[in-house]
Amino acid sequence: MSKIDLVNISKTFDNKKILDNINFTVKEGELVSLLGPSGCGKSTTLKIIAGIIKPEDGDILFNDKSVINIPVEKRGAIIVFQDYLLFPHMTVEENISFGLKMAKVKKEKRIEKVKELLELVHLNGYEKKYPSELSGGQKQRVAIARALAVDPKVLLLDEPFSNLDINLRDTMREFVSNIQRKLKITTILVTHDKEEALMMSDKIAVMLNGKIKQFATPYEVYTNPASKEVADFFGEKNYIDGKINNSHFVTEFGNIPIYSRTSSNLHAMIRPEDVKIFPREYNNGPVGKIIKKKFAGEKIYYDIKIKDKVIKCSTDSINKFDIDSQVCICVDLEKAILYEKTEE
């Protein structure tokens, strides 16, 4: 297993800068997610790490040694693509042992390794099946076993769950997490799914427009986005206006202390789960009317109109309120983050 460093990586396609000075480190045995919207450069980054694409600037280090001039087949970084790319004319065991055969590993050793991997991915008994006889989840497990067969220095997963239905996706996320932790294999996961990145990663690299905007733990990225741009990408939020007075940002929901001031043109970002909602008669905060309600199993999402502003709130589904009902809200301002206003 390796520590991976991306050092000042840049890449241009058709005169357009796709990757702009990318830097981050994946420690040995860590799972780092590369998270960002479609087209921001995630897959290109993965292909550069694997050696499929060469950057025009920068370096890739595996355990502090440059691998930039090492060709893809010798580099030891294996990509599992979202469409698995299994060989359709080969059985499960032939697919898994393909890389070992290429590496001229002896037959007995190959058989032993395939057996071990089939056990790891819970596919014992499937060795003689062809990919067309497998479900999506099973195909993906074969693809992972095939990647692991060659003992890669780093496992690169390119949107591995996006072709799976939602229930299987959860199962496979957990399955891959367990294998990754068990083998302690350095892994980079490309995803545009925030929840997936939050659940699976040791660290998240948030990528927007070819740049890494934040590199931190899931908790840090979610609770303390490095910029308004990251906060906007990362889930629902409210922006609350206010005025600065005596080192405080004064809002209609209460005051937020300002520790270091960079601008006077601020607003406070607050997540929907940090807005509490109470029946009108509690009378312990600003009053508004529920104008939208979305039931999502464990949670209910409300839009509450207070004067001319709409505040988003999410609660567990025990707290039920009807559309048009009057409620009062309490904003947990300790969780608020002040950002400079940008042009919308």
Ligand X SMILES: Nc1ncnc2c1ncn2[C@@H]1O[C@H](COP(=O)(O)OP(=O)(O)OP(=O)(O)O)[C@@H](O)[C@H]1O
Q: Which residues bind ligand X (CB under 6 A)?
A: 13-14, 18, 36, 38-44, 192
The continuous run of DSSP H or E covering 23 comes out as strand 16-26
> Residue 158 Cβ, how far from ligand X at the closest point, in Å?
8
The continuous run of DSSP H or E covering 58 comes out as strand 57-62
Distance CA 222, CA 118 (A): 37
The continuous run of DSSP H or E covering 199 comes out as helix 194-200
Nearer to ligand X, 11 or 139 (CB): 11
Nearer to ligand X, 39 or 279 (CB): 39
The DSSP symbol for 333 reads G
Nearer to ligand X, 13 or 87 (CB): 13
The continuous run of DSSP H or E covering 240 comes out as strand 238-240
Nearer to ligand X, 44 or 180 (CB): 44
Nearer to ligand X, 20 or 202 (CB): 20
CB 134 within 8 Å of CB 142: yes
> Residue 212 Cβ, how far from ligand X at the closest point, in Å?
12
> Residue 156 Cβ, how far from ligand X at the closest point, in Å?
12
* 181: amino acid identity, one letter: R
> Residue 255 Cβ, how far from ligand X at the closest point, in Å?
40
> Residue 79 Cβ, how far from ligand X at the closest point, in Å?
12
Burial 73-87 (b: 16+ CB within 10 A, else e): eebbbbbbbbebebe
CB 22 within 8 Å of CB 209: no
> Residue 228 Cβ, how far from ligand X at the closest point, in Å?
21
Instruction: Give CA separation, 239 vs 134, 153, 213, 230, in Å.
Output: 48, 44, 20, 14
Nearer to ligand X, 95 or 191 (CB): 191
